Structure 1
Amino acid sequence: MKKVLIAGATGYLGNYVAQAFKEENYYTKVMVRNLEKFKEKGINADEIIQAEITRPETLINICDDVDIVFTSVGITRQKDGFTYHDVDFQGNLNLLNEASKRSVEKFMYVSVYNGEKFKNLKICEAKEKFVEALRSSGLDYRVIRPTGYFSDMSEYFGMAQKGKVYIFGNGNNQINPISGKDLAKFCISAINTGRTEPEVEGPETFTHNQIANLAFEVLGKPRKIIHLPMGIVKGAANIMRWLMSSKTYGPFEFVATILSQNMVAPSFGSDKLENHFKSLKP
């Protein structure tokens, strides 16, 4: 039986990945920082290791007898005093160093679609710096590149619940978001393919206006969308970069950049965004 080490199992994607590997008859070894949070998730795993990816001394020998390492560890909003560099780059590098010592068969990491193109953004800078280290590690690897998760689209649903959805730009750029369940299946399918950095997204393509309208439709509320001119948004992002910490401007500039262009990758899966929104209804 193949053994997989999963880092980030309590996160949105990691939760589904742990379940998917288990369903494929892998021996699942999950690395968690907060045991209580892990227990609340009700994740089924063969082995639980309490460790912190930002503390390399807690990772010693964690890759013993492991065939595959999977990590989706990363932060969208900096917290607990950690920066993108601390977690997305250095934290994952700590894990990669341990995996290299044990010469694991494969190291899998989840970055973002067009990550190399977005290296000027603080969030992507840290992720792609780690990707560069992974490429140079000598290990067989996979970098999974999704365009967006259903959980990201929940932001639209939350605004719609309050009566107004704010969209940067005209809202006509497209994206095909994917569910955590479908992306987890794709990650496992990518293990035995020849592509080292596959791009992927969900089965449905929407404009951002259509996603907002879908949220209102599911809620049964009148549609009210407010478009913020992209020129003003980008100007604000530039000012924030000069005057504020990356903790504040990082998420803002990332969203502003994503909404300013099409983010459509090869489709995979069958889950529908409408059903996700319905699951969020109170």
Structure 2
Amino acid sequence: MNSKKVLVAGATGYLGQYLVRELKNRGFWVRVLIRKEAQKSKFQDVDDFFIGQITEPNSIKGITKNIDWVFSTIGITRQKDGMTYMDVDYQGNSNLLNDALKNKVEAFQYISAINGEKLRNLKIFEAKERFVDELKDSGINYCVLRPNGFFSDMKDFLNMAKAGRVYLFGDGNLKLNPIHGKDLAKVCIDKMISGIEEETVGGIDIFTQNELAELALKAWQKPVKISHLPDWTRRFTIGLLRTFTSSKTYGPIEFFLTAMAFDNIAKQYGTNRLEDFFNLEVKRMKEK
């Protein structure tokens, strides 16, 4: 039995659910933050639930009482309910950190994303990195992890491949190593135990974008058809979106299109293969 008591914020998300499971497997005492009572059913053997809204400091007062470690995967991919990245990714995490400081929490882990520190011009990273700065300046023991894309993010390739053709910007030779949530959850806990302050985390396999497209087409048993669009069309699309839509609409697309423009290679971890994930997803999509 592990004597540490931990709080997981963002527990209902893709990574959060794997994190809770892995912490329980390792014998940690786990409290999770949920927004509403109904979300309790998502978890099997959690020790304690705290119901509150991360964006409302009064509703999460005392959430870190008697907690040793905080894991926060709080963040939004798509802005909804009138919430912006600043409201959630920055202010929500800041509210949590303030409570942790009041309750003398030993360590705080935050999940940002790869190259976030270099991409502060993007709405999504402006908020995340502002929180990273605050966390580092707070005096608490911190761990900032910068994962590569999740396997679940790679579904964009699968969705395109379903129609029989994948569109890429440029020559498709840029590389990335996406990671499965299950593998990332293990790394999160290992890094917290070893006291690492900052680390990039990716999956075991490094792919070019062309190879990703091929994998996706193969999963659908389609012939390999990849169209390479000139890179100016990518930049033009970002410009159009910024001009004619709100950050709510363009935020996630801006992030995706910008990330596609350079190599994203993180330290390699894990055992899960993207090919297996794609095959399972296709099976699931066909059954629907």
- Length-normalised TM-score, structure 1: 0.96
Name the SS of the counterpart of 1:198 in structure 2: strand
Cα drift, residue 194 of structure 1: 4.2
Cα distance in 1 for residues equivalent to 2:191 and 2:23: 12
Equivalent residue number for residue 82 of structure 2 = 81
Given that residues 143 and 195 in structure 2 are in contact (C-alpha distance below 8 angstroms), is that contact kept between their aligned partners in structure 1? no
1:85, distance to aligned residue in structure 2 (A): 0.5
Deviation at 1:59, TM superposition (A): 0.6
Letter in 2 for 1:149: F
Separation (CA, whole Å) in 1 of partners of 2:44 and 2:175: 34
SS in 1 for 2:75: coil
Aligned twin of 1:156: 157
Question: C-alpha distance in 2, partners of 1:42/1:217?
Answer: 35
* 1:37 positional shift: 4.0
Q: How many Å separate the matches in 2 of 1:165 and 1:130?
A: 36
What is the SS of the residue equivalent to 1:20?
A: helix
**Percent identical residues:** 47
Measure the CA separation in 1 of the matches of 2:262 and 2:45: 39
246-255 or 73-82, larger mean C-alpha shift = 246-255
Q: 2:166 and 2:39 mapped to 1: Cα distance?
A: 31
Aligned to 1:121: 122
Asked if the contact 2:158–2:216 (Cα under 8 Å) also holds between the matched residues in 1, the reply is: yes
Matched letter for residue 242 of structure 1:
T
TM-score (norm 2): 0.94
Q: Are the counterparts in 2 of residues 15 and 43 from structure 1 also a CA contact under 8 Å?
A: no
What does the per-residue CA deviation read over 1:198-249, in whole Å, with 9 as the maximum and x for residues that have no partner? 1110100001111111111122122222223221211221232233211122
Cα displacement string for residues 160-189 of structure 1 (whole angstroms, at most 9, x for unaligned residues): 123222223322100001100000000000
**What is the match of residue 5 of structure 2?**
3
Q: Equivalent residue of 1:236, what SS? A: helix
SS at match of 2:156: helix
CA displacement 1:25-54 (0-9 Å, x = unmatched): 100100011433442x34431111111101
Give the aligned CA root-mean-square deviation in angstroms: 1.3
Deviation at 1:279, TM superposition (A): 1.5
Report the counterpart of residue 279 of structure 1 in structure 2: 280
The residue that corresponds to 1:184 in the other structure is 185
The residue that corresponds to 1:12 in the other structure is 14
Q: Is the 8 A contact 2:167 2:227 kept in 1?
A: yes
Q: What is the aligned residue count?
A: 281
**8 A Cα contact 2:73 2:111, kept in partner:** yes
Partner of 1:46: 47
Is the 1:18–1:43 contact (alpha carbons within 8 Å) kept by the matching residues of 2? Answer: no
For 1:258 and 1:188, the matched residues in 2 are separated by 26
Q: In the alignment, which residue of structure 2 is the partner of 1:145?
A: 146
1:94 matched residue in structure 2: 95
Matches within 5 A, 1:95-114: 95-114=96-115
Question: Any idea what SS the aligned residue of 1:227 has?
Answer: strand
Structure 2 unaligned segments of length 5 or more: list them: none
| Greater Cα shift, 244-253 or 16-25 | 244-253
1:262 corresponds to which residue? 263
Q: What residue identity is the alignment partner of 2:67?
A: V
In structure 1, list runs of 5 or more residues that go unmatched.
none
In 2, Cα distance between equivalents of 1:162 and 1:36: 37
Aligned counterpart in structure 1 of residue 32 of structure 2, from 30, 34, 47: 30
Q: Counterpart amino acid of 1:158?
A: N
Q: 1:271 to 1:208 in 2, by over 3 A?
A: same
Task: Decide whether the 8 Å contact of 2:113 with 2:145 is kept in 1.
Answer: yes
CA 1:79–1:185: 2 relative to 1, 3 Å: same
